[in-house]
Structure 1
Amino acid sequence: MRAAGPFVVLWLALAGMALAEAPKTSPRPLTRPAATHTAAQAAVILRPKHRPDAMAPSGVAPDAGPPNVAPQLAAVSMPRPHPRPDGLTAQAEQAAAAQPTPTTRGKSSKKDSRRGSVCGDPAIKGAEIPAVTSKTKGCGIADPVRVTAIDGIPFSQAATIDCDTARALKQWIREGMRPAFGNREVVKLHIFGSYMCRSRNNIRGAKVSEHGRGKAVDIAGFVFSDGKEWTVARDYNKQIRSAQKAACGIFGTTLGPGSDGYHEDHLHFDTAERRGSAYCR
């Protein structure tokens, strides 16, 4: 116990010094510097600045709402487009007129263009030509036309015929040829012959052929949309025979292979007036 006495005395001395140095009150944080602006001044600073008085309409307070700047905008010079060149409208109309008008195959279209049409029918395309005269009695056409396409189907060569024959050909294309070929779409007709001043079957002394009157047309073949071609000479099949049969009655005369030996490679259609029924072979 005597040996521990010095250590106890030393500990009590250190504890007394610690108690003597402890602060009487707890430390507090330093106060912030005094605000440089009052709350009212801060509110004024935070508000946006007013627009100039020139931008506000007369008689309205600046805080009454957004200013009407229409007078100021009206005074600003706005760029204007340059005037159109002279004749621009006419050029546009000419360009539109030059575009081809599509037609509906197999159906008559009310929108068929009359440009390039003849016989008063938009579906018959071609040109009117001067009267065809001849020194041979019975030959000639008073009102001929050169037909290049009918109902959207172009011809391999123009057919010089009269309008009655052109209209009959259009009727046959719609009511006879197309139904006969079914789903096979014809895109061109091979014309074998039309106007020619000659006797029937080129027999000397025979009557003038209907070809010499512009009332006949010969068809040698058909070109289809798939690129294939059927000719009367090579492919006189069921469909071609059906198309030929459908022409009987539409035309006054229909002739083909096996009829008289003169039409083995083409179909002959003419609008000759006949007593009684049509002549179909």
Structure 2
Amino acid sequence: MRGLLAVLTVLLTALPGQAPAEEAPVPRPGRPAEDRPAPRPDHEAAPAEPATAAEPAPRPQEQPAEDEKSERAGPPAPPIRATLRESDFAYSACLLELTLLGADFSEAPPILDPEQRDCGIDRPILLRQPLPDIEIPGGAPMRCDTARHLAHWLRDFVRPAAAMLPGQPRLVALEPGSTYQCRPTVGNAGETLSEHAFGNAFDIAAFRFEDGTRLAVEPRQDSGDLQEAFQRAVRGTACLHFTTVLGPGANAAHDNHLHLDIKARRGGFRLCQ
């Protein structure tokens, strides 16, 4: 029986179309696990992002250079004297009014100060007589509007007040104190410029009359005479034409003159002391 099985086995292996059975591969001795390459994934992994260091602290903002500041801020503000420059129409109208009042004046070239750009008068006049026969010895440079207010005040109030003095002397001259002068305001440690620096102010040290008498501006409180009444009258009425009137008693700097100016203030405020 065993012999028959062996013969059948031989015949089956020899049949045509049948491939001989493959021998099973002999297993090779395996490598240690640590030497085997890691299996590759189906898709390549994205490269790992490099480790980032901690963000540095923000740098303090650098201060812009002076030229950068000026570029950001725009052009510098115009000097104060330029902001007071009259329009052509206003300037011409003022000159015409002075002419009709009988003033003696002449137009002058611009007044500038090389050391202080704010000081000066863009359209000054030299006023010699604010009214006919009332002289300012040597003349006084000022803005036309200052001269116009001075002429109206002299015509409407000072001349009539002078007619009340003994002998009714005729006013013939104003002795000037400060006229145009580039300087700070007295008593404020130089923080602001005086109105004298722009041609807006005129100081009167004394009034002179045709009979040769002279009435100096000085402290006259309670003197009880017509000279005190005259000084009080012209000083009080000056505030109807000027926005600042300072004189004896206002402070020590104004004990010997009347300071008159046309400084523009908010709401039309006037300082009369």
Aligned to 2:140: 159
Conserved 8 A contact 2:204-2:259: yes
CA separation in 2, counterparts of 1:205 and 1:150? 31
1:217 positional shift: 0.2
Aligned to 1:43: none
Q: Is residue 240 from structure 1 mapped to residue 231 from structure 2 by the alignment?
A: yes
Q: Which runs of 5+ in 2 are unaligned?
A: 1-93, 221-226
**2:135 alignment partner, SS class:** strand
**1:176 alignment partner, SS class:** helix
CA separation in 2, counterparts of 1:157 and 1:266? 18
Aligned to 1:206: 191
**2:138 alignment partner, SS class:** strand
- 2:207 maps to amino acid: F
Question: Aligned ranges for residues 176-191 of structure 1 at < 5 Å?
Answer: 176-182=157-163, 183-191=168-176
Q: Which runs of 5+ in 1 are unaligned?
A: 1-117
Aligned to 1:280: 272
CA separation in 2, counterparts of 1:205 and 1:193? 17
Equivalenced residues, count = 164
Conserved 8 A contact 1:131-1:144: yes
**2:230 alignment partner, SS class:** helix
Q: Is residue 150 from structure 1 mapped to residue 130 from structure 2 by the alignment?
A: yes
1:157 positional shift: 2.6
CA separation in 2, counterparts of 1:158 and 1:234? 26
Conserved 8 A contact 1:157-1:190: no
Q: Deviations over 1:96-134 (max 9, x none)?
A: xxxxxxxxxxxxxxxxxxxxxx92222221221111112
Question: Aligned ranges for residues 127-138 of structure 1 at < 5 Å?
Answer: 127-134=106-113, 135-138=115-118
Conserved 8 A contact 1:190-1:219: yes
CA separation in 2, counterparts of 1:214 and 1:270? 9
Seq. identity, %: 34
With over 3 angstroms needed to count, the CA separation of the structure-2 counterparts of 1:223 and 1:234, relative to structure 1, is: farther
Q: Structure 1: which 4+ aligned runs deviate by more than 4 Å?
A: none
Conserved 8 A contact 2:219-2:255: no
CA separation in 2, counterparts of 1:218 and 1:250? 14
Q: Compute the RMSD of aligned alpha carbons.
A: 1.8
